[in-house]
Structure 1
């Protein structure tokens, strides 16, 4: 049992050491730079923006003219293929479509608003992925901070267990005490294993966002957490910031404008377009080498685009309602983010917590020394040990939740109010 416990703990610690050595250490600025360069979703959206901008150029182009001809092929009595000489026949027609009622300009406007919406979608994707990036980055960082403590606890506990096993062999300690210590070791080792699984999940998410084939390790300056403060921001100021910066609101506004342009375009389509052209007829008309001007227009007798006009009109109403819903959603999101920060910050300061953590670290070291000297009982030692483990896990979870709450406020406002990237 003793050898099995030692082998288990050593295997866990060695395997995590190996993984840590392979990880690429990145500060948050380095991670964001890598994210902007390598994230495949962002790259794809950039290409989409370029594609929609190209459609604006396409919409500005005029329709190509059409040309048709009739070549002489003789008569029923005498077939003369391609007889287009002086005694033969040749007829040529050229036609240009002239779009009326400003259809071309409206199509250009529609393409421009579509390109603007695509650009806003790129910003919206970046806003969403940046929140995921920072959430995964800080989650992995605080999980690793917890891992360091649990790892140190397992190492110290193994030393104590080694001493107890020796004492148990000589009969100087109760065997039940060894069993209790082994149970404590197994409990902490189980917590450590669960923690490693959560680290792997956070690391996988971070790798996908960074476009990295290998694992990464966050490098965070503890003082950077001091930058996450409201600094006098009021609810109204934050709501105004969100309305001015949120790309999803800009997308909704662009969709409304697109719907308006499309409605005007559908009404313009009801106006027939003009076909203007010229014709040349060598010998088939009343006079040789006949030249004529051609004009044509569709007669809007049955199809006046009524259905498309009605659909476009209702689409305007749909997009108007969607825009108002988006404004309401933004106000609620900003308010919720503020309330979450208020709940986390109530009565707790990072500097006070940092000082308390230092005192608790010194306390647990003192407890371990006194236990080895026999100054405190096994039950007291186990109680201190479990309380310290819980405290470390809860503290790092709180700090992660605190950072995430501020990042969610960044996300809700669409602005980098607490920008830790320099």
Structure 2
């Protein structure tokens, strides 16, 4: 029974530790982001608001009912509304002309499309931030692991050298220099840990969780980042078709054109038609009449709004042309970055890390056996740590520029 209880407690403690952090792959992170990110969820309401305005403007104007009764008749008293009294009723309905209602609805529909493009652009931007931070955190964790191993091994070496110093076999200078190296490694690790904690804050915010996040990356996650047959001209065409922020600007131009059409229609006055029943106050009893009214467009023909709307079209068309130029330049720059990063990454020999790690293991043994000097040992450790740290940063930067290319093109190019 004790064995079963102990086994249960061990399993439970392992499970509890697993719940203290979130271990996820990049695809799981993408999925959690779409489900949980509060900014994305909030932006959805903007689409709902735009659709609600669209529904509202499709509705017809309500008719207006007016009732009038006799409040006081000197010969018959208060509220004389009987068969020989007085009461009157009228009903009126506004009829819009020049297709104002349909033009307003068309403008609302385009406004809804713009809200949708803004929603997609928010996802595009935040997903780029998520992936950049995710992979950077993974490679920073790899560097932290390197420092942990180095510090643990160096602690053992320092302890051994202190024993030798106590036996008067080595000088204090060597022990102090090793401790200084250990102190330097500890400080370097703390700096990387600070950077990793900032990334943790960003990841937890993007995924709307309070659990620490441990990125899980396998070889397929890294190997999928390759240009294949993509060329600059194709990427620019894709960007002009897919970029949601460009579509936002194009939608603004379309809205300006629709608003210009609407403002010209607003210059044409609407017609108010109605019917009236009057029991006793007209030229004959039980009078029934119909009415029609409209504004006379002598002074206000909506000239200012029409002029402003026309200028707005020119403004947004110019902005659209500027955005197209910016998109092309962004794609060009991102494409060149990918080529530079890939060339730097490929220049590192595939067995570089393995060879360095083997040499690192041997360097400690040789140092303890006094086959190499203290200066050679320290120089190697510093060179080794800096090289591995920079290699991990190169790997993170390589994925970042590929994701930047995804971002500026507006498509998932590397699946």
Fold shared by both chains (TM-score > 0.5): yes
Residue 324 (structure 2) pairs with residue 330 (structure 1): no
CA distance in 2, matches of 1:26, 1:259: 45
Residue 410 of structure 1 is aligned with which of 401, 406, 411? 406
Residue 147 of structure 1 is aligned with which of 140, 144, 151? 144
Q: 1:129 to 1:79 in 2, by over 3 A?
A: farther
165-174 vs 340-349, greater mean Cα deviation: 340-349
CA distance in 1, matches of 2:316, 2:142: 48
Q: Which runs of 5+ in 2 are unaligned?
A: 1-15
CA distance in 2, matches of 1:255, 1:407: 28
Q: Aligned residue for 1:64?
A: 62
Residue 221 of structure 1 is aligned with which of 218, 221, 226? 218
- Tell me the matched-pair count: 400
SS in 1 for 2:72: coil
Q: 1:164 to 1:280 in 2, by over 3 A?
A: same
Residue 36 of structure 1 is aligned with which of 34, 37, 50? 34
Structure 1 contact 72–80 (Cα < 8 Å) conserved: no
CA RMSD of aligned residues (A): 1.6
SS in 2 for 1:346: helix
Q: 1:354 to 1:146 in 2, by over 3 A?
A: farther
CA distance in 2, matches of 1:78, 1:247: 76
Aligned ranges for residues 366-385 of structure 1 at < 5 Å?
366-385=362-381
Q: Deviations over 1:145-173 (max 9, x none)?
A: 00000010000000000001111111101
Q: Aligned residue for 2:120?
A: 123
Offset of 1:56 from its aligned partner?
A: 1.2
SS in 1 for 2:125: helix
Structure 1 contact 275–295 (Cα < 8 Å) conserved: yes
Structure 2 contact 345–394 (Cα < 8 Å) conserved: no
Q: Aligned residue for 1:253?
A: 250
CA distance in 1, matches of 2:59, 2:95: 12
CA distance in 2, matches of 1:94, 1:345: 76
Q: Deviations over 1:216-249 (max 9, x none)?
A: 1100003421111110211000000001100111
21-30 vs 155-164, greater mean Cα deviation: 21-30
Q: Aligned residue for 1:278?
A: 275
Q: Aligned residue for 1:361?
A: 357
Residue 300 of structure 1 is aligned with which of 297, 300, 312? 297
Residue 82 (structure 2) pairs with residue 85 (structure 1): yes
**TM-score with structure 1 length normalisation?**
0.92
Offset of 1:50 from its aligned partner?
A: 1.3
Residue 178 (structure 2) pairs with residue 189 (structure 1): no
355-364 vs 186-195, greater mean Cα deviation: 355-364
271-280 vs 283-292, greater mean Cα deviation: 283-292
Q: Deviations over 1:229-288 (max 9, x none)?
A: 110211000000001100111111111110001011111111000001111111111121
Offset of 1:330 from its aligned partner?
A: 0.5
**TM-score with structure 2 length normalisation?**
0.94
CA distance in 1, matches of 2:392, 2:77: 95
SS in 1 for 2:388: helix
338-347 vs 261-270, greater mean Cα deviation: 338-347
CA distance in 2, matches of 1:61, 1:323: 33
Residue 389 of structure 1 is aligned with which of 367, 382, 385? 385
21-30 vs 145-154, greater mean Cα deviation: 21-30
CA distance in 1, matches of 2:216, 2:195: 18
Offset of 1:412 from its aligned partner?
A: 0.4
CA distance in 2, matches of 1:165, 1:315: 79
Structure 2 contact 345–395 (Cα < 8 Å) conserved: no
